Amino acid sequence: MLLILIVVIAGAVTGQATQINHAWATFIMRWLHVLSGVMWIGLLWYLNFVQVPTMPKIQPVESRTAITKFIAPNVLWWFRYAALATVVTGLLLAWMNNYFLQAFTLRPGFVMIGIGMWMALVMAFNVWFIIWPAQQKILGLVEATAEEKAAAAPRALYASRFNTMFSIGMLYCMVAQQNAPI
């Protein structure tokens, strides 16, 4: 509501009504892409900078189930669907910008966004095929032996840390396309 009000008032004040065309549709896709990207990376950073380091400090130990049984499964749901939404909107955005193949094949002028897209795809792969299956075992959402749980913990941790480090460079490449393309 507030956003609609801002858009309408801004249009009235400046006398520049929004034109509904391809440029506008691309802009809306960019907005949806950044929204879902913020949701994904925000939760990734919450997990790495807040939840994981704080867990061992929670006392008594039984109260940690508030995190493992309630907060973490909810975080992981938003986390993986935000990752999926980011990938879908990002790919659509590249296609609407007419540089889908040039970006993926790292052609001159599209090297930065291409690297960013490859990095983000590796991260999304980690979310869906490494972190999520491992977390399901750790949180007891699927049947797993004690050994399987023990093996899943470092796998989830390292994949999550890898994504956190990758997110810094990936975001540089995302925003570089508009400001410092190579």
Comparing C-alpha atoms, which of 70, 163, 172 is closest to residue 125? 163
Beta carbon of residue 40, minimum distance to ligand HEM (angstroms, whole number): 5
User: Stretches 6-14, 16-24, 52-60, 168-176: which one binds ligand HEM (CB under 6 A)?
Assistant: 168-176
- For residue 39, state whether it binds ligand HEM (rule: CB under 6 A): no
Three-class secondary structure of residue 4 per DSSP: helix
Give me the residue whose beta carbon is nearest to ligand HEM.
90
Interface residues for ligand HEM in 3-22 (CB under 6 A)? none
Beta carbon of residue 110, minimum distance to ligand HEM (angstroms, whole number): 9
Residue among 76, 113, 134, 139 that touches ligand HEM (CB under 6 A): 113
d(CA 48, CA 37): 16
- For residue 163, state whether it binds ligand HEM (rule: CB under 6 A): no
Interface residues for ligand HEM in 61-90 (CB under 6 A)? 86-87, 90
Site for ligand HEM (CB under 6 A): how many residues? 24
CB 80 within 8 A of CB 71: no
* Residue whose CB is less far from ligand HEM, 68 or 125: 125
Residue among 43, 117, 130, 139 that touches ligand HEM (CB under 6 A): 117
Radius of gyration of the chain (CA): 20
- Catalogue the long-range contacts made by 167-174 (C-beta closer than 8 Å, 24 or more residues apart): 167/41, 167/44, 167/45, 167/123, 169/119, 170/116, 170/119, 170/120, 170/123, 171/41, 171/116, 172/116, 173/112, 173/113, 173/115, 173/116, 173/117, 173/119, 174/37, 174/113, 174/116, 174/120
Binding residues (CB under 6 A) for ligand HEM: these are 30, 33-34, 37-38, 40-41, 86-87, 90-91, 93-94, 97, 113, 117, 120-121, 124, 171, 174-175, 177-178
